[in-house]
């Protein structure tokens, strides 16, 4: 065989293998359209292999041109990241006041002293916030996607999370149990993963990790001391099927379930650390003193993407985050800044194009509070939540990084991380197989009242 024939055979077998893998994986993931598209493309691999048997009819120079073109394209796509210019990291300059967060503004009672004081200090928020107050509200029977089963389940789950609130803090044991940092770190990481965490990271806490002032419940208006030096961040996985039907009712039930799961993990780890004689606080839904995505980012769990959520290398944004802060001496993870996901978000924009409220920017990143990043329109986003009755999650459902963890998708994520030129084409292939604007699925059958 000539060199060109070897190249064509190798590419033909490679393309056939990838398309067969795509077909099998897609059927397993219950994505038949993607599977059928992969089947339709199978002849491409067969054609390349078939060319070597047509050398009597096809001039050698044509085979040479085709094989050379394939090699050039491959070299272009697989040009390694370390040979290309990379972006630089930046960190926030100031702390965030939790009172400005939409969840805090949503809890303000019209006519109350806090309500009047807040809008006196932030008059530019008043007209915007009046819009979400006109809507039915989260899990409201009058909301657009009301479904009594997942909505009622969500309320029950959030009420259960509320039962954990008294446990986020507590008194430490008077006698300190001494354990080496290495042993304690390994024990905590292993325990958390056995309890359901996908990833765990530990970081030294900086000022910008902490809210400056509390904004919810009894913490409203109180300065946050931020006196713990160590933050333990972790993620829990959200079910892909539940997320793909976003913004229907399954998404808020799944969010509530994972907030509860994260809360249980955080509370038990914090209690364990206090029992060892150290101080610790669990930061769970409705009771955060830290900006969880920033703690998780600096603990090495991911980067902040276009949609303003933590993008993890394992599951993209399809996670919920929990944090424990403590003074227990633990080894911290060395953060290695990775610009691959931000670069991918620059090229993708799928979340922005599918956002029902147009709250996600399609523009390039800009410097905000010292950080080059994207800024979502939180008012538009939350107003849609209050209309839909769920926490939407459409951006999460369409993100190419949100595909399940399996060999095929892990291989694509690895290529995105390591080969910058591949990223644009990864977006185009995702569009081809799954659609630029994927159809919103119905909630899983077991959630439907009328089958």
pLDDT tens readout for residues 195-213: 999 999 999 999 999 999 9
- Whether the pLDDT of residue 358 is over 70: the answer is yes
Distance CA 130, CA 321 (A): 29
pLDDT of residue 46: 82
Buried b (16+ CB within 10 A) or exposed e, 182-191: eebbeebbee
Beta carbons within 10 angstroms of residue 120's beta carbon:
9
Given this model, what pLDDT does residue 54 score?
Answer: 65
The predicted pLDDT at position 25 comes to 97
Q: Percentage helix, strand, coil, to 5, in the chain?
A: 55, 10, 35
Mean pLDDT, to the nearest integer, of 359-377?
A: 92
Q: Is the pLDDT of residue 144 over 80?
A: yes
- Name the percent of the chain lying above pLDDT 90: 83
Query: Rounded distance, CA 344 to CA 253, Å?
Result: 29
Strand order in the sheet with 199-204: 199-204, 230-237, 319-326, 280-283
- Mean pLDDT over 142-158 rounds to 96
Q: What is the mean predicted confidence (pLDDT) over 267-285?
A: 98
Q: Which residues pair with 303 in a beta bridge?
A: 311
Find out whether 289 and 343 touch, Cβ atoms under 8 Å.
no
- Predicted confidence band at 93 (pLDDT cuts at 50, 70, 90)? confident
CB 236 within 8 A of CB 264: no
Given a cut of 50, is residue 451 above it in pLDDT? no
DSSP letter at 332 equals P
pLDDT at 423 over 50: yes
Token digits of residue 118: 């807040």
- Counts of helices then strands in the chain (DSSP H, E): 17, 8
Q: How far apart are CA 230 and CA 278, in angstroms?
A: 12
What is the band of 172 on the pLDDT scale with cuts at 50, 70, 90?
very high
| Distances in whole angstroms, Cα of residue 135 to Cα of each of 23, 307, 386 | 43, 23, 5
Q: At residue 5, does pLDDT exceed 90?
A: no
Residue 268 reports pLDDT greater than 80: yes
Total-model pTM = 0.93
pLDDT tens track for 98-137 = 999 999 999 999 999 999 999 999 999 999 999 999 999 9
Residue 202, C-beta contacts closer than 8 angstroms, at least 6 positions apart: 185, 230, 231, 232, 233, 299, 330, 331, 332, 333
Which residue would you say has higher pLDDT here, 90 or 338?
A: 338
Percent of the chain with pLDDT over 70: 97
* pLDDT average, residue stretch 236-264: 97
pLDDT in tens, 41-82: 998 888 877 776 666 567 778 878 988 999 999 999 999 887
pLDDT at position 61, please? 86
Q: What is the mean pLDDT of residues 298-327?
A: 96
Q: Is the dihedral of CA 319, 322, 328, 334 positive or negative?
A: positive
Report the b/e string of 90-112 with b at 16+ CB within 10 A.
eebeebbbbbbbbebbbebeeee
User: What confidence tens digit (pLDDT) does each residue in 6-36 have?
Assistant: 888 888 899 999 999 999 999 999 999 999 9
Check whether the bond before 315 is cis (ω within 30° of 0): no
* Partners of 366 in the β-ladder: 373
Mean pLDDT score across all residues of the chain: 93
């Amino acid at each position: 065989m000539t060199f060109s024939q070897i190249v064509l055979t190798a590419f033909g077998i490679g393309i056939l293998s990838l398309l067969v893998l795509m077909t099998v994986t897609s059927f397993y993931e219950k994505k038949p359209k993607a599977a059928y598209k992969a089947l339709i493309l199978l002849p491409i691999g067969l054609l390349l292999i078939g060319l070597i048997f047509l050398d009597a009819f096809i001039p050698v120079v044509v085979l040479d041109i085709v094989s050379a073109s394939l090699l050039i394209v491959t070299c272009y796509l697989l040009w390694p990241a370390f040979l290309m210019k990379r972006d630089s990291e930046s960190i926030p300059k100031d702390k965030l006041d939790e009172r400005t967060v939409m969840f805090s503004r949503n809890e303000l009672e019209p006519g109350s002293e806090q309500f009047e004081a807040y809008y006196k200090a932030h008059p530019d928020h008043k007209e915007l916030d009046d819009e979400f107050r006109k809507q039915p509200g989260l899990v409201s029977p009058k909301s657009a996607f009301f479904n009594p089963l997942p909505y009622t389940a969500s309320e029950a789950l959030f009420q259960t999370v509320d039962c954990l609130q008294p446990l986020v803090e507590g008194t430490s044991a008077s006698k300190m149990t001494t354990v080496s940092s290495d042993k304690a770190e390994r024990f905590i990481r292993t325990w958390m993963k056995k309890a359901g965490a996908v990833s765990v990271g530990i970081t030294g806490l900086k000022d910008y990790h902490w809210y400056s002032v509390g904004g919810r419940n009894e913490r409203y208006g109180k300065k946050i001391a931020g006196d713990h030096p160590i933050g333990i961040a972790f993620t829990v996985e959200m079910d892909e099927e539940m997320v793909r039907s976003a913004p229907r009712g399954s998404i808020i039930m799944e969010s509530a379930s994972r907030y509860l799961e994260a809360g249980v993990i955080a509370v038990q780890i914090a209690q364990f650390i206090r029992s060892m004689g150290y101080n610790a606080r669990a930061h769970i839904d409705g009771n955060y003193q830290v900006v969880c995505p920033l703690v998780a980012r600096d603990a090495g769990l991911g980067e902040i993407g276009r949609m303003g959520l933590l993008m993890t290398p394992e599951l993209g944004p399809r996670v919920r985050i929990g944090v424990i802060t403590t003074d227990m001496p633990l080894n911290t993870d060395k953060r290695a800044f990775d610009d691959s996901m931000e670069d991918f978000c620059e090229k993708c924009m799928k979340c922005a194009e599918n956002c029902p409220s147009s709250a996600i920017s399609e523009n390039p990143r800009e410097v905000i509070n010292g950080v080059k990043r994207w800024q979502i329109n939180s008012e538009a986003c939350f107003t849609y939540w209050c209309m839909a009755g769920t926490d939407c999650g459409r951006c999460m459902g369409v993100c190419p990084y949100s595909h399940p963890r399996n060999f095929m998708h892990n291989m694509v994520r690895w290529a995105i991380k390591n080969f910058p030129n591949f990223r644009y084409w990864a977006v185009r292939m995702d569009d081809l197989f799954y659609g630029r604007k994927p159809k919103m699925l119905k909630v899983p059958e077991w959630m439907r009242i009328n089958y």
